[in-house]
């Protein structure tokens, strides 16, 4: 009888062996921990079988080479189930001297180093936005979405006479907001700053 083994840490299929007979019970076989008599389902080269609650499930195999979407740098992922963030398996094109590369619109974009509008924009976004009361807010798209949602909830709370939710800064620290007027002022300044960065990004890109 064949046994099919899986990792005790991530439960991915690791291989098969022949079962050993049980010396105490004739006709029975020993089944060690992290093994099953059920064979894993067929799966492709970039897939892996995973034991989930007693059943095999086919998942993407994240192991192997990946490429950073910000600069095309190659690195190796050793975890089969934890695909790296901000990365793709697609290799970037070969660059000429003075060229840079970045992943945009589901493809690699090559641009001259002398007009490095992408790295400028990334650096500005990474700085965040600091309010007049020294609250630093993130400028990434997910931050914009969260702040917009928070503003909508705050307006609903204010209309019902309920406390306004605090603003969460880039370190995860909550900051109390006294009134919807205060929050509105912050959101207007925040939105204007983000719009100005986007406009400058577009201007620099047009010069390439």
**What pLDDT, on a 0 to 100 scale, did the predictor assign at position 136?**
95
- Domains of the chain, by residue range, sit at 2-59, 64-115, 120-206
Q: What are phi and psi of 153, to 5 degrees?
A: -65, -40
CB atoms within 10 A of CB 165: 17
Alpha carbons 207 and 92: distance in angstroms, whole number: 23
pLDDT, tens digit, 9 for 90 and up, residues 72-124: 999 999 989 889 999 999 999 998 877 888 898 899 988 776 557 777 888 89
Q: Cβ neighbours of residue 21 under 8 Å, at least 6 residues apart?
A: 28, 29, 30
pLDDT, tens digit, 9 for 90 and up, residues 148-178: 999 999 999 999 989 999 999 999 999 999 9
**What pLDDT, on a 0 to 100 scale, did the predictor assign at position 13?**
93
Mean pLDDT of all residues belonging to the chain = 90
**Mean pLDDT on 32-54:** 92
Helix axes 117-127, 180-206, angle to 10 degrees: 170
Among 123, 86, 93, residue whose Cα is nearest residue 110 = 93
pTM over 0.85? The answer is no
């Amino acid at each position: 009888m064949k046994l099919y083994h899986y990792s005790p840490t991530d439960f991915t299929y690791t291989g098969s062996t022949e079962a050993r007979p049980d010396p105490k019970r004739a006709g029975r076989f020993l089944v060690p921990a992290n093994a099953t008599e059920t064979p894993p389902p067929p799966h492709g080269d970039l897939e892996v079988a995973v034991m989930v609650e007693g059943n095999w499930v086919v998942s993407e195999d994240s192991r192997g080479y990946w490429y950073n979407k910000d600069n095309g740098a190659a690195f190796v992922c050793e975890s089969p189930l934890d695909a790296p963030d901000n990365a793709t398996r697609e290799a970037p094109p070969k660059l000429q001297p003075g060229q840079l590369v970045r992943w945009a619109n589901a493809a690699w974009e090559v641009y001259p180093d002398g007009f490095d509008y992408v790295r400028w924009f990334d650096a500005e976004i990474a700085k965040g936005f600091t309010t007049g009361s020294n609250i630093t807010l993130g400028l990434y798209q997910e931050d914009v979405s969260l702040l917009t949602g928070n503003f909508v909830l705050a307006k609903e709370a204010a209309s019902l006479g309920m406390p306004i939710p605090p603003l969460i800064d880039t370190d995860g620290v909550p900051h109390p907001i006294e009134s919807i007027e205060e929050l509105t002022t912050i959101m207007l300044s925040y939105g204007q700053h983000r719009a100005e960065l986007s406009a400058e990004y577009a201007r620099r890109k047009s010069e390439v």
